[in-house]
Structure 1
């Protein structure tokens, strides 16, 4: 700045920009499916079986980026470990799980590559241009068995129901994560137990046998 005498000096202005509040998270959704029948009769559900739900994750000060939605990286290893240690196919084959963050798919396959179950995440920008709509879909291609029981961790089994807690994270346009992961609980209800069909009875006609 310069005064009336022509004297000048330099000054400094410090501008501090504080980032706005991050998105809180904690949104919740539920999916329930019932296992199919390996030999479905008329009106019965075979495989594959699928279900989905959509949750709206509310943004904070910055817009949420639908291309940055993923299974929570801090819980992914635990989720896969529990899935692999607690779930097998109906005929007790081990299932190997892997997650592709590019496609948003968590896939479980047998040792020979047969697909057993897939969980998919798909996100779009919400109508308000700020939030995101996240659709979680499960497709089950084969029966599942649970090797343990209880309600601990991300995978549990109680009363013939398998529940998988899928923790979901997202980033805003500043790269900030949700304060808390959103969650979708997937419940897989055991299918009907095998049963005998209607007994139509057996008729035996006696015959006369003659001989010498």
Structure 2
């Protein structure tokens, strides 16, 4: 007799004992990689995580536990910290550099709330889980040059293949077409070498091939 396997919703957890502003960008990138790896658009989630962690740095001495998961068609972000004070929506002060975080969260989310905890609170945010669009990739001579090491390197916003790293050296590999229009696709230097194992020889000759961005 075999036990039934139950597939659990994807989730991730980040505990911090001394979160600093310098750490937040790396956490945001990690969250973005997780969400896109689960197959969903990550922009709003990355924004929410940034604002929640900024509040932890400012009000909770950097101690918190951040969780992100997907359940019932929604992305749930929660941050438990050691500050008992509840967050609130404030009227924006355009002469101040702070005070807009919860308004940004409210605008990006389906709902948000706060629960008291022993020695602190838990702020939760629910967002729509928007699937990443399916792409049709047109492999151009750019990709052939990239695989041959002839495409000039540049600093790219994001690697479309493998790692999803941002602001790293990379090369142009092709164009992705979707319902949202066309977009240039870049691969970081680390992932270019892997592309040759994913792409058929016809692609290297410049023919069209249906691929999924990795």
TM category (shorter chain) comes to under 0.3
More RCO (CA 8 Å, sep 6+) = 1
Larger Rg: 1 or 2?
A: 1
Higher helix proportion (structure 1 or 2): 2
TM-score for both structures, normalised by structure 1: 0.26
